[in-house]
C-alpha cells in the first residue's frame, strides 16, 4: 500500500461519473479508472462505489455507480508502459478541496513516505524511455533454504557433535537434537504464519515482530537482534580464526602469539567478507552457494569414510567402521566432567540449531516472501535435523569412546576388535576416540582436508549471513524512526537499496569484538538475544491468534496457537538453562528499550495484535460491568463536558481533567447545527482528539449534528457512553451572554439544565471573570448558544493568564495550546464550597478529588453552610461530624446565619429591572408596546403566578449573591 499522492493534478470531480441513459457508464467508468488516484488504506465498510459531485439536486451529497472490483486496486502490480489503476479512498471521496490537512496514516510502512516530495505532471511526462533495471531477487531455495542451512550448520556440527554423542549416548543425543529442532520448528511455523499474513517487506525479524506486536516490543527486539547479528559476525569469524591458528600451530607457523594471531586473521577475514557484502547481494548469494557446495562435499567425504575399511592407523585412534557392538556401547550415556549432564549437553548443542531466521532477515530481497519464507525455512530445519541425526548415529556406530592412538596396542588379541585401550582408559590418558578427540570427523573422513574446508565453509557462511542480516534489519528500524540518532544508517544505495552505511557500522562492531579474541565470552549473550527473538515470534503468533482479529488470516494454515505459546515458554526456559546471567541481561535491555518506546509513543499505526487485544479487553470489561450493581462506594463522577471544540474552552477542559484523570470518564461534547454531510465529517474530525492528546488530557470526544443545541445535548446525554461506562455529571460553562442573545437561546440553555435533572445527571457550571470561550467568531464549530458576546469573545486571547505555547504534533498545522490557570500549581489557596442544599454530596466530592492532585494538594477547603445564629456552633459540629463520616479530611466549616435574611431593596430592584422584559404583562392594553427587541409571547415569559410562586426562592438567591460578593479572597 502507498500513501496517496494528491499532487498529480487530478481532481475527484473528474473521477465522479454522471448518470447517463445510454448504458455506457460502465465503459466511461473504466476509462476514468485509469486516472492516477492514490490508494492508501482500507475502504471502511467495503464500499466500492464512486462518489459524484455535489449539486443542489443531490441533497445526499453524492451519487453512486457500482464498479466491479479490480486486482490492481488491491495489489502492488506495475507493468512497464502502462499506468497502474487506483481506487479512490474514502478520504479522497469526502475530502474538502480547501482542506490542506494531511491524510490519515493507515499504511504499514515507515513514516519516511511523509517526507516525499510532490510530483508534478511535467515530471510524469519526463518518464524514462527504458524500463528500470530490476533489483536482484531470490527464490526460496537460494534465498531462504540454503541461507538457513548454512547458518544452522556451524563449528558445533564438526567439532562438538561427536563429543556430545560420546557424553549423552546416541539415544539422548537424538533427544537433544529432536528437542532443539522441535523448538526451532515451532518457531518456523510461527514465522511462516506471520509472514503469510500480509505483505512482507525488508527488515526480516524486526518487521515481523513490530507489525505483529507493535513498535514497542518490535523496536526493542529489532535493535538487539541487529546488534546480536553484528556480534555474531565476530563470533563466527573468531571460530574460523581459531581453526586456522590451530592448523598453523600444528605446522609450527606462528605470526606473533595465538591471541594476536586470532585478531589478525579475524580482521583480515571480516574485511574480506565486507568486500563480498559491499559487492551486492548477487555476489553474496554466489559466495553462499560456494560455501554450501564445500559443506556438501565435506559431508560426502565423511559418509564415504565411514564405509571404507579402517586402516591400522585409524583403528589405533578408535575407528573400526560400522560395528553393532560399538553402536550398542555408544547408545547409552557416558557422562564425564563438570558438563556431563543432559542440560549441559543441551546448552552446548542448542546454539547450533539457531539460524532459522537467516532467510527471513533478507525478506526485502526475496521474490515472493510469503512463499519463500515458509517453504525454505521449514525445509532447512528438516534437512539440517536429518544431517545432525545421521552424523551422530554414524559416528557413534564407527568410533569408540576412548582410544590411545598407539599402534602397539594391537598386541592383545583377546581384546575387542584386536585392540586393547584399557591402560589409557584406566589412567585417563586416552587422546583419541569421540570422547577425547574433537577432530573425529576429520579422522573418519575419506579425505581429512575436506572436513577442514567444511569447517571453513560453515564458519564463513554463518559470518557472511550475519553480516548481511544485521544491516538489513537495522535499516528497516532506522527508517521507522523509533529511536533517535540512528536515521543516518537507514539510507539505501543502488537498485537493491543496499544499506552501505549499515554494513560499515556492522563491520566496526564486529571488528571491536574480534579484538576480544575469546569465543566463550560473547557466545552466551548472542544465543540469548536470538532466543529473545524466537520467544517474541512465537508469542506474536499466539497473541495474534487469541485476539480473533478479522485481519489475522494467514495463508499458512499448519500452525497452532498453543504450540506457539509452548515454543515461547520453552525459549524462555532455555535462555536461563544456557546462561542465567546472560538471560537477565537480555531481558533487562529489552525492558529498557520497551520503556523508552512506551514513553516516546512513536506516531506509527501498524494494526498490531496489541491494538486488537486492547479492544478485546476493553469490550470484555465493559460487558462484565453489566453484572456489577451500582454502589455509593464505587461512585465516580463520569463527566459529559459541553466544550464545543475542546480547543475553544481549554479552561473547562483542564478543570474537569483535574478530577477525572486516571479516575473516571471524561467526554468532551460538541453540537453543530445543520444537516450537511460536510458538517458531519467536520464534526468527527480527528483534530479534536489530536488536540486533547497533545494537551495530555485523557478524554473522549463526541460530536453530533442536530437541528438545535438542546436537541443535540439531549441526544448526547441519552446516547453517550457504553453500558455502565456512561456520563452521570453534565458540566458546561455559565452563559454570560444571555442578555445579548435571543430569548430562545437562553430558554434552550435553561432547558438543557432541566433535561439533565430529568435524566438523573448531576449538573456543574463553571464561571470565570474573563470568560471561557477563547475562540473568535470566524472560527468554525462554534455553538451560538455558548458564545459570550462580541465584546468578550476575542479579547480573552490577550488576557494575562492565557499564554499561547507551541507543542509538537504530527499535524501539518497544529492548533495552539493555551495555558490556563487550572494547569498551574495553586500554592496555598482556598477552595470555598457553599453546601447550601442537600445534593447527595457531589459538591463535596469534587473539591476532594481536586485536592488529590499534586498542583491542588496545598489548597485549603472551607465549607459554608446555612444556619441560624442561635444554633451556629451546634450546626457546625453536625456538619463536621458528617464530613468526618464521609472521610473527606475537611476541617474548616463556617455557618452563614444571615443567609436567610431579606436582601437589600436596591438589589431586588436591580433584579426586577433585569428580568422585566421577560415578564408577561397581564394588562392587554400594554401588549401594543411589543417591538422587535422584545418578544411578548413564548415559553420563557414569566407570568404573575410564576413570579409570586417563586418569590421566596428568588429573594433567597438574591441574598446569596450578596453574601458571595461581600466575602472576598476565595477561589470559587
- Across the beta sheet with 892-896, the strand order is 830-834, 860-866, 892-896
Tell me whether strands 830-834 and 860-866 are parallel, antiparallel or unpaired: parallel
More confident residue, 764 or 494: 764
3-state secondary structure of 55: strand
Residue 237 contacts residue 262 (beta carbons within 8 Å): no
Lowest mean pLDDT among 283-292, 572-581, 775-784: 775-784
Reading the block at residue 676, the C-alpha cell is 450537511
According to the model, what pLDDT value does residue 349 have? 85
End-to-end CA distance of the chain: 55
Dist CA 642 CA 709 (whole Å): 11
Tell me the C-alpha to C-alpha distance, in Å, between residue 56 and each of 53, 59, 561, 679. Answer: 10, 7, 56, 16
CB atoms within 10 A of CB 573: 13
Mean pLDDT of 855-875: 86
Label residue 678 by pLDDT band (50, 70, 90).
low
Nearest to 602 by CA among 700, 719, 510, 479: 479
Flag whether pLDDT at 909 surpasses 60: yes
3-state secondary structure of 905: helix
3-state secondary structure of 921: coil
DSSP run (H or E) holding 892 = strand 892-896
pLDDT digits (tens, 9 = 90+) for 141-159: 888 888 888 888 877 888 7
Mean pLDDT of 106-113: 40
Nearest to 505 by CA among 538, 478, 543, 533: 478
Label residue 268 by pLDDT band (50, 70, 90).
very high
According to the model, what pLDDT value does residue 3 have? 40
Instruction: Identify the DSSP state of 696.
Output: T
Mean pLDDT of 922-939: 54
Which of the given ranges, 152-166, 613-627, 656-670, has the highest pLDDT on average?
656-670
Dist CA 501 CA 559 (whole Å): 38
Dist CA 671 CA 749 (whole Å): 13
pLDDT digits (tens, 9 = 90+) for 746-780: 889 999 999 999 999 999 999 888 778 776 443 33
Return the residue matching grid coordinates 511455523.
189
Residue 652 contacts residue 731 (beta carbons within 8 Å): yes
Annotate 165-180 with b (16+ C-beta within 10 A) or e (fewer).
bbbbbbebbbebbebb
With a threshold of 0.75, does the pTM exceed it? no
3-state secondary structure of 694: helix
According to the model, what pLDDT value does residue 642 have? 93
- Percent of the chain past pLDDT 70, that is, above it, reads 77
SS3 content of the chain, % helix, strand, coil (to 5): 55, 5, 35
Which of the given ranges, 117-131, 420-434, 510-524, 532-546, has the highest pLDDT on average?
532-546
Mean pLDDT score of the chain: 77
Mean pLDDT of 712-733: 90
Tell me the C-alpha to C-alpha distance, in Å, between residue 643 and each of 161, 166, 658, 669. Answer: 72, 78, 15, 6
According to the model, what pLDDT value does residue 95 have? 60
Tell me the C-alpha to C-alpha distance, in Å, between residue 323 and each of 45, 291, 319. Answer: 71, 33, 10
E strand residue ranges, 633-761: 639-642, 666-673, 700-706, 729-733
Flag whether pLDDT at 342 surpasses 50: yes
DSSP run (H or E) holding 17 = none
Dist CA 827 CA 855 (whole Å): 7
According to the model, what pLDDT value does residue 356 have? 86
Mean pLDDT of 900-927: 77
pLDDT digits (tens, 9 = 90+) for 373-388: 888 999 999 999 999 9
Tell me whether strands 639-642 and 666-673 are parallel, antiparallel or unpaired: parallel
Nearest to 467 by CA among 226, 191, 221, 157: 226
Lowest mean pLDDT among 385-394, 687-696, 816-825: 816-825
Dist CA 92 CA 314 (whole Å): 79
Dist CA 122 CA 219 (whole Å): 40
According to the model, what pLDDT value does residue 97 have? 58
Reading the block at residue 343, the C-alpha cell is 542440560
pLDDT digits (tens, 9 = 90+) for 57-74: 434 444 455 567 776 666
Label residue 211 by pLDDT band (50, 70, 90).
confident
Residue 475 contacts residue 198 (beta carbons within 8 Å): no
CB atoms within 10 A of CB 293: 12
According to the model, what pLDDT value does residue 385 have? 93
3-state secondary structure of 705: strand
Tell me the C-alpha to C-alpha distance, in Å, between residue 276 and each of 137, 280, 303, 466, 683. Answer: 17, 7, 32, 13, 58
CB atoms within 10 A of CB 559: 22
Flag whether pLDDT at 823 surpasses 70: yes
Flag whether pLDDT at 127 surpasses 60: no
Mean pLDDT of 360-377: 83
Nearest to 348 by CA among 338, 356, 361, 358: 338
Residue 121 contacts residue 9 (beta carbons within 8 Å): yes
Label residue 243 by pLDDT band (50, 70, 90).
confident
Q: Which residues pair with 55 in a beta bridge?
A: 58
Mean pLDDT of 340-368: 81
At residue 365's C-alpha, the angle toward residues 362 and 366, to 5°, is 95
According to the model, what pLDDT value does residue 811 have? 38
According to the model, what pLDDT value does residue 553 have? 85
Label residue 134 by pLDDT band (50, 70, 90).
low
3-state secondary structure of 335: coil
According to the model, what pLDDT value does residue 798 have? 32
Reading the block at residue 681, the C-alpha cell is 465529517
Flag whether pLDDT at 723 surpasses 90: no
More confident residue, 816 or 369: 369
Flag whether pLDDT at 99 surpasses 60: no
Mean pLDDT of 796-824: 50
According to the model, what pLDDT value does residue 52 have? 36
CB atoms within 10 A of CB 330: 28
Residue 203, by phi and psi: left (phi above 0), alpha (psi -120 to 50) or beta?
left
According to the model, what pLDDT value does residue 795 have? 35
Flag whether pLDDT at 810 surpasses 50: no
Label residue 413 by pLDDT band (50, 70, 90).
low
Amino acid at each position: 500500500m502507498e500513501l496517496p499522492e494528491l499532487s498529480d493534478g487530478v481532481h475527484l470531480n473528474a473521477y465522479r461519473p454522471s448518470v447517463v441513459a445510454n448504458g455506457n457508464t460502465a465503459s466511461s467508468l473504466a476509462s476514468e479508472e485509469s486516472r492516477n488516484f492514490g490508494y492508501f488504506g482500507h475502504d471502511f465498510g467495503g464500499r466500492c462505489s464512486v462518489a459524484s459531485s455535489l449539486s443542489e439536486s443531490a441533497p445526499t451529497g453524492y451519487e453512486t455507480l457500482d464498479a466491479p472490483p479490480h486486482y490492481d486496486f488491491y495489489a502492488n502490480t506495475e507493468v512497464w508502459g502502462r499506468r497502474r489503476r487506483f481506487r479512490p479512498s474514502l478520504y479522497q471521496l469526502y475530502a474538502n478541496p480547501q482542506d490542506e490537512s494531511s491524510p490519515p496514516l493507515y499504511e504499514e510502512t515507515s513514516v519516511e513516505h511523509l517526507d516525499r516530495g510532490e510530483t508534478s505532471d511535467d515530471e510524469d511526462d519526463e518518464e524514462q524511455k527504458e524500463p528500470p533495471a530490476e533489483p536482484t531477487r531470490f527464490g526460496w531455495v537460494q534465498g531462504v533454504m540454503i541461507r538457513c542451512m548454512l547458518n544452522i550448520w556451524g563449528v558445533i556440527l564438526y567439532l562438538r557433535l561427536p563429543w556430545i554423542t560420546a557424553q549423552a549416548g546416541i539415544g539422548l543425543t537424538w533427544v537433544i537434537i529432536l528437542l532443539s529442532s522441535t523448538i526451532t520448528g515451532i518457531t518456523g511455523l510461527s514465522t511462516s504464519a506471520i509472514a503469510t499474513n500480509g505483505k512482507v517487506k525488508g527488515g526480516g525479524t524486526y518487521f515481523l515482530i513490530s507489525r505483529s506486536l507493535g513498535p514497542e516490543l518490535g523496536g526493542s527486539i529489532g535493535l538487539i537482534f541487529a546488534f546480536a547479528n553484528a556480534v555474531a559476525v565476530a563470533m563466527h569469524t573468531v571460530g574460523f580464526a581459531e581453526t586456522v591458528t590451530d592448523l598453523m600451530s600444528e605446522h609450527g607457523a606462528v605470526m606473533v602469539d595465538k591471541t594476536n594471531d586470532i585478531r589478525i586473521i579475524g580482521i583480515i577475514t571480516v574485511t574480506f567478507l565486507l568486500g563480498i557484502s559491499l559487492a551486492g547481494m548477487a555476489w553474496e548469494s554466489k559466495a553462499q552457494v560456494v560455501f554450501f557446495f564445500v559443506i556438501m562435499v565435506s559431508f560426502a567425504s565423511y559418509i564415504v569414510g565411514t564405509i571404507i575399511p579402517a586402516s591400522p592407523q585409524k583403528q589405533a585412534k578408535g575407528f573400526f567402521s560400522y560395528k553393532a557392538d560399538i553402536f550398542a556401547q555408544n547408545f547409552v550415556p557416558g557422562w564425564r566432567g563438570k558438563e556431563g549432564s543432559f542440560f549441559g549437553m543441551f546448552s552446548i548443542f542448542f546454539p547450533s540449531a539457531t539460524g532459522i531466521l537467516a532467510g527471513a532477515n533478507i525478506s526485502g530481497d526475496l521474490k515472493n516472501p510469503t512463499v519463500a519464507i515458509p517453504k525454505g525455512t521449514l525445509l532447512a530445519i528438516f534437512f539440517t535435523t536429518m544431517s545432525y541425526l545421521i552424523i551422530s548415529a554414524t559416528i557413534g556406530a564407527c568410533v569408540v569412546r576412548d582410544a590411545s592412538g598407539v599402534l602397539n596396542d594391537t598386541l592383545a588379541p583377546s581384546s575387542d576388535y584386536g585392540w586393547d585401550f584399557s591402560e589409557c582408559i584406566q589412567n585417563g590418558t586416552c587422546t583419541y576416540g569421540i570422547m577425547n578427540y574433537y577432530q573425529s570427523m576429520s579422522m573418519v573422513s575419506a579425505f581429512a582436508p575436506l572436513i577442514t574446508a567444511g569447517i571453513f565453509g560453515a564458519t564463513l557462511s554463518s559470518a557472511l549471513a550475519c553480516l548481511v542480516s544485521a544491516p538489513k534489519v537495522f535499516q528497516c528500524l532506522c527508517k521507522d524512526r523509533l529511536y533517535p540518532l540512528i536515521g543516518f544508517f537507514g539510507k539505501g544505495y543502488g537498485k537493491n537499496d543496499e544499506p552501505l552505511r549499515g554494513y560499515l557500522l556492522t563491520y566496526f562492531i564486529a571488528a571491536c569484538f574480534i579484538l576480544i579474541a575469546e569465543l566463550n565470552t560473547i557466545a552466551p549473550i548472542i544465543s540469548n538475544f536470538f532466543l529473545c527473538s524466537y520467544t517474541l515470534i512465537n508469542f506474536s503468533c499466539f497473541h495474534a491468534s487469541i485476539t480473533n482479529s478479522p485481519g489475522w488470516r494467514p495463508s499458512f494454515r499448519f500452525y497452532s496457537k498453543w504450540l506457539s505459546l509452548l515454543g515461547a515458554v520453552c525459549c524462555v526456559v532455555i535462555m536461563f538453562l544456557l546462561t542465567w546471567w546472560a538471560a537477565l541481561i537480555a531481558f533487562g535491555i529489552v525492558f529498557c528499550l520497551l520503556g523508552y518506546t512506551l514513553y516516546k509513543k512513536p506516531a506509527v499505526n501498524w494494526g498490531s495484535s496489541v491494538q486488537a487485544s486492547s479492544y478485546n479487553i476493553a469490550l470484555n470489561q465493559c460487558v462484565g460491568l453489566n453484572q456489577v450493581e451500582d454502589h455509593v462506594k464505587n461512585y465516580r463522577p463520569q463527566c459529559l463536558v459541553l466544550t464545543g471544540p475542546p480547543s475553544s474552552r481549554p479552561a473547562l477542559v483542564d478543570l474537569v481533567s483535574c478530577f477525572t484523570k486516571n479516575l473516571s470518564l471524561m467526554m468532551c461534547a460538541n453540537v453543530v447545527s445543520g444537516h450537511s454531510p460536510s458538517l458531519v465529517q467536520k464534526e468527527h474530525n480527528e483534530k479534536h482528539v489530536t488536540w486533547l492528546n497533545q494537551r495530555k488530557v485523557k478524554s473522549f470526544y463526541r460530536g453530533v449534528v442536530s437541528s438545535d443545541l438542546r436537541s443535540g445535548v439531549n441526544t448526547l446525554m441519552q446516547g453517550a457512553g457504553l453500558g455502565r461506562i456512561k456520563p452521570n455529571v453534565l458540566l458546561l460553562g455559565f452563559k454570560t451572554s444571555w442578555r445579548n442573545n435571543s430569548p430562545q437561546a437562553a430558554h434552550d440553555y435553561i432547558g438543557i439544565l432541566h433535561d439533565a435533572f430529568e435524566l438523573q445527571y448531576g449538573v456543574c457550571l463553571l464561571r470565570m471573570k474573563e470568560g471561557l470561550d477563547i475562540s473568535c467568531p470566524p472560527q468554525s464549530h462554534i455553538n451560538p448558544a455558548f458564545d459570550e458576546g462580541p465584546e468578550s469573545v476575542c479579547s480573552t486571547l490577550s488576557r494575562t493568564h492565557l499564554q499561547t505555547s507551541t507543542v509538537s504534533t504530527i499535524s501539518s498545522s497544529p492548533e495552539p495550546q493555551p495555558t490556563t490557570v487550572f494547569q498551574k500549581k495553586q500554592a496555598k489557596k482556598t477552595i470555598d464550597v457553599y453546601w447550601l442544599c442537600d445534593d447527595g454530596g457531589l459538591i463535596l466530592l469534587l473539591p476532594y478529588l481536586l485536592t488529590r492532585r499534586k498542583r491542588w494538594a496545598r489548597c485549603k477547603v472551607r465549607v459554608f453552610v446555612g444556619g441560624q445564629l442561635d444554633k451556629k456552633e451546634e450546626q457546625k459540629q453536625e456538619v463536621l461530624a458528617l464530613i468526618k463520616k464521609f472521610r473527606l479530611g475537611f476541617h474548616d466549616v463556617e455557618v452563614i446565619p444571615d443567609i436567610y435574611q431579606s436582601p437589600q431593596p436596591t438589589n431586588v430592584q436591580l433584579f426586577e429591572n433585569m428580568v422585566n422584559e421577560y415578564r408577561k404583562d397581564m394588562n392587554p392594553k400594554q401588549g401594543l408596546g411589543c417591538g422587535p427587541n422584545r418578544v411578548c409571547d413564548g415559553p420563557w415569559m414569566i407570568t404573575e403566578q410564576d413570579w409570586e410562586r417563586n418569590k421566596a426562592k428568588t429573594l433567597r438567591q438574591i441574598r446569596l449573591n450578596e453574601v458571595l460578593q461581600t466575602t472576598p479572597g476565595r477561589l470559587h
